[in-house]
């Protein structure tokens, strides 16, 4: 994983109170990078994310391909970057596009039809589970809602 990436988190809410208040301060980040194809194309969502981003932090809202291109070109190498993706589909796409990740924090995936409860604030579909299994050979998955919570081994949690 590139040294400028200080954390990668799956959180379907993208930027919200836990991200803005707890995580950015704890990680001492310069930039929040939201990687999400829909958000990168939707003006209203971009405005909402900009409003949710803490003052003084830089914000990038990028498609998976553009994010990987920018990161791998060294564009952010003098910064501390916190990457947030909405779900496993985006995570898989950035890995397939060539972004090397060592650790990913599974933070928030809400329950919906066809999901299984894993832990507080984390529910997975069979498709999510498949992605976690595929990527677990290269990536260590943790789960931590806020920085003061203990870091749990997400793959152990998935086993039930």
pLDDT at position 160 is 81
DSSP H or E segment with residue 41: helix 37-41
In contact, 108 and 121? CB cutoff 8 Å:
yes
pLDDT in tens, the chain (160 residues): 889 999 999 999 999 999 999 999 999 999 999 999 999 999 999 999 999 999 999 999 999 999 999 999 999 999 999 999 999 999 999 999 999 999 999 999 999 999 999 999 999 999 999 999 999 999 999 999 999 999 999 999 999 8
What 3-state class would DSSP assign to 18? helix
In contact, 102 and 52? CB cutoff 8 Å:
no
pLDDT at position 133 is 98
User: Which single residue is written with the structure tokens 């829909």?
Assistant: 38
In order of start, what are the domains of the chain with their CATH numbers?
5-159 (3.40.35.10)
pLDDT at position 49 is 97
DSSP H or E segment with residue 140: strand 140-143
Contact residues for 47 (Cβ-Cβ < 8 A; gap 6+): none
């Amino acid at each position: 994983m590139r040294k400028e990436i200080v954390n990668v988190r799956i959180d379907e809410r993208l930027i919200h109170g836990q991200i803005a208040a707890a995580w950015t301060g704890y990680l001492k980040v310069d930039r929040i990078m939201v990687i999400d194809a829909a958000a990168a194309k939707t003006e209203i969502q971009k405005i909402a994310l900009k409003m949710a981003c803490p003052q003084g932090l830089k914000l990038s809202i990028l498609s998976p391909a553009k994010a990987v291109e920018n990161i791998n070109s060294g564009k952010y190498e003098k910064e501390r970057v916190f990457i947030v993706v909405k779900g496993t589909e985006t995570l898989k796409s950035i890995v397939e596009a060539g972004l090397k990740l060592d650790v990913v924090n599974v933070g928030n995936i809400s329950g919906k039809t066809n999901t299984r409860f894993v832990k507080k604030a984390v529910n997975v579909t069979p498709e999510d589970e498949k992605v976690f299994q595929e990527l677990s050979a290269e990536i260590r998955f943790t789960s931590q809602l806020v920085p003061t919570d203990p870091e749990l081994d997400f793959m152990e949690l998935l086993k039930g």
